[in-house]
Amino acid sequence: MDLSIVGVGHVGLVTAAVFADLGHRVVGLDDDRDKLDTLLAGDVPFHEPGLPELLERVVADGSLTFTDDLSVAVDHGEVIFVCVGTPPLPGGGPDLRFVERVGREVARHATRETVLVEKSTVPANTGVRLTQVIAHELEVRRADATAADPDDVHVHVASNPEFLREGVAVKDTAEPDRIVYGTASDYARDKLREVYAPMVERVGCPVVETDVPTAELIKHASNAFLATRLSFINAVANVCDRVGADVELVAKGMGHDARIGHAFLNAGLGYGGSCFPKDVDAFAHLARQVGYDFGLLEEVRDINVGQRQVVLDRLRDELWHLQGKTIAILGAAFKPGTDDLREAPALYLAESLLAEGATVRMYDPVALDGVAEVLPEVERIDDPLEAARGAHAAVIATEWPQIAGLDPSDLKAALDYPIVVDGRNCLDARAAIDAGLHYHGIGRGHLRVR
């Protein structure tokens, strides 16, 4: 099929490459000229394992091309996927102006029956709004006697939320757990069936076909639920700390219950990234707008933000005050496998430490360039032990293998004071204590030196 992808960022680029690899002819559009130049030069603008190799293949065989001309993308795509950003607004809702702009532009340029698919994460009923915007633009075209006759033009709005995880995005997109799409017409449903047919045949994943608002809501409900699990276990961790229990074993004991499962029961510094914080807020905001107080989600957010304070409190407990102290933060990206720093807990920690007068050093295997842009006052060091050398304490903020695999004795030898706050519970706690470190995990009260 001829597909277009509008917005070739973390979601759009991976989607475009995987669709091209499935045998579709794909055009990727972005209005960021620098990003396009990077892609046209054969480079990938962000770190995503497996993506460079896949892109090289599908660009070389001509199944994926790029453009910055919307009319080219609209002409090409019988199905057009909207993958633009929906960043958070101060009031909690998402900024939908990029999605709206794409809807308007597609309606202005469409010359035939087209399916416009929301892949960006949007609140329920965005599809209704988009449909109104498109109808208005088509009315304007009809009223303009000089415009080409738009009577053959029909733009079907559909929703096809994306569930990929950065760091394993290629695999998640090529072999999804499930495919969800919501449509309002047989035409759109049949087109989406056709898009995904080769993937369903190969992977055998379930397909959930719904109406548009239901598909939109499945995405917000999924992310809000995952975030709720994380905040739940973090709240449990805070009780574990106080009663001398081990949250790692609590999570293990809970997870063996088939009704609960093990995933997303990792206590720690809290979630970050471009999705969970924004989507939890956006879902709560949507609920408020429609007259329901989803207070649970406010708690989920507050517990998550509170986890950063847990780490800062540990440092203050150990170091009395932070003025003039040097703290090594190991890991900057919001999770391993990506250089994405959006809402990364490590950055919040760094900002707080700097505000309290500490010197901050950071190690990350791939995200240090990004750190330089947002927090130039942080010292960047490309080796974890060098970052720790001579510091008053180290905080683990991202469980990269380079960090989780550190030998506690080496860490002890590097640090000036043997203090480690493991915000991801990724070091071997017993080995760390045996090596002489003052080890603080999250929810590991059984290990506290009292």
Q: Enumerate binding residues for ligand NAD (CB under 6 A).
A: 6-12, 29-32, 35, 83-86, 98, 101-102, 120-121, 162, 164, 166, 274-275
- Shortest spacing between CB 156 and ligand NAD, in angstroms: 20
| DSSP secondary structure letter of residue 146 | T
Q: Residue 382 and residue 233: Cα distance in Å, rounded? A: 32
- Structure tokens, 260: 């609960």
- Shortest spacing between CB 46 and ligand NAD, in angstroms: 7
CB proximity list for 151: less than 8 A, separation 6 or greater: 142
| Count of positions (residues) in the chain | 450
Our CB check for ligand NAD shows the closer of 274 and 425 to be 274
- Shortest spacing between CB 218 and ligand NAD, in angstroms: 12
Our CB check for ligand NAD shows the closer of 120 and 326 to be 120
Long-range contacts of 371-374 (CB under 8 A, 24+ apart): 371/332, 371/341, 371/347, 374/341, 374/347
Q: Are 88 and 94 in contact (CB under 8 A)?
A: yes
Our CB check for ligand NAD shows the closer of 89 and 245 to be 89
- Shortest spacing between CB 32 and ligand NAD, in angstroms: 4
Query: DSSP per residue over 91-132, as a string?
Result: TSSB--HHHHHHHHHHHHH--SEEEEEE-S---TTHHHHHHH
Our CB check for ligand NAD shows the closer of 91 and 291 to be 91
- Shortest spacing between CB 282 and ligand NAD, in angstroms: 9
Our CB check for ligand NAD shows the closer of 20 and 360 to be 20
- By beta carbon distance, the residue nearest ligand NAD is 9
| Main-chain phi, psi angles of 17, to 5 degrees | -65, -40
- The distance from CA 293 to its chain's CA centroid, rounded to whole angstroms, is 25
Catalytic residue among 83, 240, 275, 426: 275
- Shortest spacing between CB 421 and ligand NAD, in angstroms: 27
Our CB check for ligand NAD shows the closer of 9 and 92 to be 9
- Structure tokens, 233: 């276990």
Sheet bearing 64-67, strands edge to edge: 64-67, 25-29, 2-6, 79-82, 113-118, 154-159, 179-182, 207-210
Active site residue 426: no
Q: Residue 427 and residue 291: Cα distance in Å, rounded? A: 45
Our CB check for ligand NAD shows the closer of 164 and 250 to be 164
CB atoms within 10 A of CB 149: 9
- Shortest spacing between CB 159 and ligand NAD, in angstroms: 12
Long-range contacts of 173-178 (CB under 8 A, 24+ apart): 173/14, 173/15, 173/18, 174/18, 174/21, 174/199, 174/203, 175/203, 175/205, 176/203, 176/205, 177/205, 178/205, 178/206, 178/207, 178/208
SS3 422: strand
Residues annotated catalytic, as ranges: 275
